[in-house]
Every structure is written in structure tokens, then in C-alpha cells.
Structure 1
């Protein structure tokens, strides 16, 4: 495991970093409160892959636990999938250095994936299913009441567009949900945090990052497209990504077309709805100062 250099240790205590740390902790704290993610007496199993997101999640949860109004147990969990060259000693050494309870699970999912998936095809789907099954099993073994994953706001938005563009669904990663097997509650405390802030935090903390070598440099092509699209919007249209994130919490079923969410067949002029037929009205966008910007539609 690498040790922080004097320079990185100094950066970690700079005013800029302390503001960033406070921002991330506030975001995680708000998400936990808004969605009631962690309760008194919970055992939270934090899945740590060795990447920047899960390291940051574990660090922030440990910091928040010190001053939380509820008492909860944290267990860090890593799945060693037996990828060639995986540095198995890194995470146990890191966990011991910070004094967190942990569980290392070794399962050769690498061989299964390589055997089942043809060369050149994306391995992510099968790998993810195998990994989820193992995570659920370990959560039962340690008595975890919550499973914490390191997905952040950008992951949630990317998933939203992936499902819309390629799956025909308006569906994202929720901050909190029941697991596939119905036995656990999965939480994403980084739901309000941006990938950029997490990356800056991880660099300053000098976490011993472990890259995923299961698929080499392979990346889901569709997710890569969505990530590039969102990055372009963030660069060219400041505030657009924040508006999209806000939209996830402002769904108006009467203005979509899902008959399972709204009774369109039974609707008549006496039906009470949140808004009338304002679909052709220009959207109102709030300014930072509280005023409203009205966008005039093109002819």
C-alpha cells in the first residue's frame, strides 16, 4: 500500500480541501437524512472495490459516524475476484491502517466471466450479477441491515439516459431500494455528490487506488457515450446537470404517459391534477437569486 507523500498530506489539510471535505460530508449527510438511509442500530456493509468512489464513501461515513445522532456499525467489504495481478494485500492493509472492521471475500468470478463471455464482448453484465449475489450472501453472513454502494450523482444521471436511450424506460439508480433478492436495503449515500468532487477528494486523500483489470481497458460503449454527452452539457451549458439531478426528485406523473402511474382513462374535467395542460408553455427556470427565467419557445 502506498503511503501519502508529504505534499499530499499537506494538501489534505489545506483550506480548499477542508471545504471540499465539508461539502461532501454535508451532501452525504443530507442524502442519509432525506431518504432515511441509516438508522440507530444499523450494520452498514460498505462495498469497497478499491476505486475512488468506494474509498471516499467509506471515509465520509466513518467521519459522519463520529458525530451522528444515531449509533451504527460499519463493516468494509471487498470482493477479490481473482483477476490476474490483483494486489490482494492492499485493501486489508488499508482497512487495518484506519481501524475499520472489514471482511475480504475471495471468489474466482474472473474465470467464470472469461469462460462464459466471448472475447471482445462486454463482461460488465455477468460480472455485476455474480458480484451482487456474493454481496447479498456476505451481507446475510455478517448481519448487515444496509448495503452501501459508491454510486454518485453522475452515475445516477448516466443510468437515467442509458435506460431512456437504450432501454425505453425512465429509470435511474435510486438512492435507496430493496435488493434483488428482497432481503436487504441498498443505499447510495453519495447520491448528491458529483464525480468531480469525489475525484478531487480521493486525490488529496491519496487512497491506494486499485484499477479493475477484469476487462482490461474495456468500457461499456453506451455508458461512455452518455458520459461524454453529459460532460459536454456540463461544459457548454452551466447548470444543466444540476437541473437534471433536481428533475429526478420532481416527477409529474400526470404529464407523462404511464397509465400505471396515472389514471388517464378515468380522467375527466373534474379530475384534480398537480398542473393543467401547460405542456406548450415555456418552462420556468429558477435563477440562483430566486428570480425566474422564462424560456420562449421557437416557432
Structure 2
């Protein structure tokens, strides 16, 4: 290890640069998508993983200097998985004086009962978790639900939908739920997972692993992640380029007839419109 890498002043400087970069990226995402508004009551979903800890920490930091007033409440869903360390999050949040609520719902038993042995459990588990959190948010008057998905998650989801669902869709930085009862925001949309992992390690968050229900290494998301990791090793910055593409969509260059009117394309738009009006007039006369 080089002397520069072990120099305390150098290490501290790099840590400060990382913190500023993450705050800037989160602040920019919030501004670009109008994620947080005056008077918002935001439910910060805290799973116990590095992403949600980092999201909560940065939002608290931004809250102190934000031009608008908003409330943050950390919410964890205890799904009653065997071996789940129930004390970890309450101890951490209480120690920092952060308002929180632990929502208890035994979704683990439902998943175990419904999903056949050997099949992937994550899909059903995620839907049950989302339903529980959405219902709680509506009941408690939260105006926004903050989730800890980062840029890598968003790009992964794009490829999952592309390869396994035959559609171009990802995770938007801001989303209104299908029933229009909740607005979901993803403040980490502009951040990279590698930066989050480093930030979490610096702060030594009490991480709760997401493997209490058993290893599921055959997941499609894992396959996509391996592909992206290889791309990133061979072509650094490719994930950011793909994310930028999601912000620069050209419907006329794709093939979705619901997004672009291919049927009425003409080399002479004005003449085509005149012909259509003439046909309509003649039909009406006839």
C-alpha cells in the first residue's frame, strides 16, 4: 500500500470529497425531478443495507440546509424472517435521535407458503413489502416514499426488463404508484453503488445482510449484474452512459406506435394534412 493511501490527511481529504460528491448528486437529482417540496412528510424506507443508510444520512444532511422545510421519518418493515436482528435499527436510530417506526408484518411466512421450494422468492417478497409500505404511508399521511435505489439498480432493471420482459423500462427517479395514492422518490438515482459502499464503510453502519431467507444466486438480477461488472471493468463509465441514455429518449427512433405516430408520417406533412381534411369533407358530403 502506498504512503499516500495511508496518510491520514490524504484519507480524510478523499472521504470529504466523497461526501461532497454524494450530497451534490443527491441534491441535483432532487432538484431535477422536484422530489422534495415545502411541507413534505417523507417516509425514508430503511432496510438495514448500505444504500438505505446512506440515503438517510445524506437526506438528513441536506435537510439542515435545504431552502424548503420537510420532515423525515425512517420506517423499517420487519418481515419476521428467522434470525432478523430486531434490535439493530431501533438502537441505531434511537442513538442518533432520528424519528422512526418499525412496521411488523409476517410476509416471510406468506412467501414460504406460496413459493415452491427452489423457486425465486424475491419477486413475491418485494411485492408484499411494497404493498405494506404503501399502505402504511397512505395511512400515516406521508407525501413521499424515499427508496434507496441507485444508478446501478436503475440500469440493472433496464436490462432485466429488456432481456426477460421484452420491454424498455427501468426505475424512474420519481414515480406515482399505479393506484395514484403514493409518490415514490429515489434520491440516490445519480449515485454509483461503489461510492455508496465506500461511504457506508467509512461510517461503519450496522449492516443487516439481505440473505436471511437463504441464498438465491440463480437470480436474473445477479446475471445482469455480472454482465455490467464485466463491462465496467473493460469500459469504465459505461453504466453512466447507459443511464444518460434513459434521460435522452427519442421516441421517433424506436418502434412503439403508442409513443410516436408512425402511421401518418409523410414527406409533405402539410399536404398530407390537407388530403386528410379533403377526404373528411367528401365523406361528410357523401
Q: Same fold (TM over 0.5)?
A: yes
- Per-residue displacement from partner, 1:226-267 (whole Å, max 9, x unpaired)? 111111111101232221111010000010000011000011
Pair 231,271 (structure 1): closer, same or farther in 2 beyond 3 Å: farther
Q: Which runs of 5+ in 1 are unaligned?
A: 1-9, 273-299
In the other structure, the counterpart of 2:221 is 223
In the other structure, the counterpart of 1:212 is 210
In the other structure, the counterpart of 1:44 is 42
SS in 2 for 1:74: strand
In the other structure, the counterpart of 1:246 is 244
- Structure number with higher helix proportion: 2
**Pairing partner for 1:151 from 141, 149, 152:** 149
After TM superposition, which residue ranges in structure 1, 4 or more long, deviate above 6 angstroms? none
In the other structure, the counterpart of 1:76 is 74
In the other structure, the counterpart of 1:121 is 119
Instruction: Check the 8 A contact 2:81/2:213 in 1, yes or no.
Output: no
Q: How many residues align?
A: 262
SS in 2 for 1:213: coil
Task: Provide the rounded CA distance (Å) in 2 between the counterparts of 1:50 and 1:220.
Answer: 23
Task: Provide the rounded CA distance (Å) in 1 between the counterparts of 2:259 and 2:69.
Answer: 38
1:192 aligns with 2:184: no
SS in 2 for 1:177: strand
1:96 aligns with 2:80: no
Instruction: Check the 8 A contact 1:124/1:220 in 2, yes or no.
Output: no
The offset of 1:122, in angstroms, is 0.4
Q: Which runs of 5+ in 2 are unaligned?
A: 1-7, 271-286
Task: Provide the rounded CA distance (Å) in 2 between the counterparts of 1:82 and 1:241.
Answer: 35
Task: Provide the rounded CA distance (Å) in 1 between the counterparts of 2:112 and 2:21.
Answer: 41
Instruction: Check the 8 A contact 2:83/2:212 in 1, yes or no.
Output: no
Instruction: Check the 8 A contact 2:41/2:71 in 1, yes or no.
Output: yes
Query: Could you state the TM-score of these two structures normalised by the residue count of structure 2?
Result: 0.89
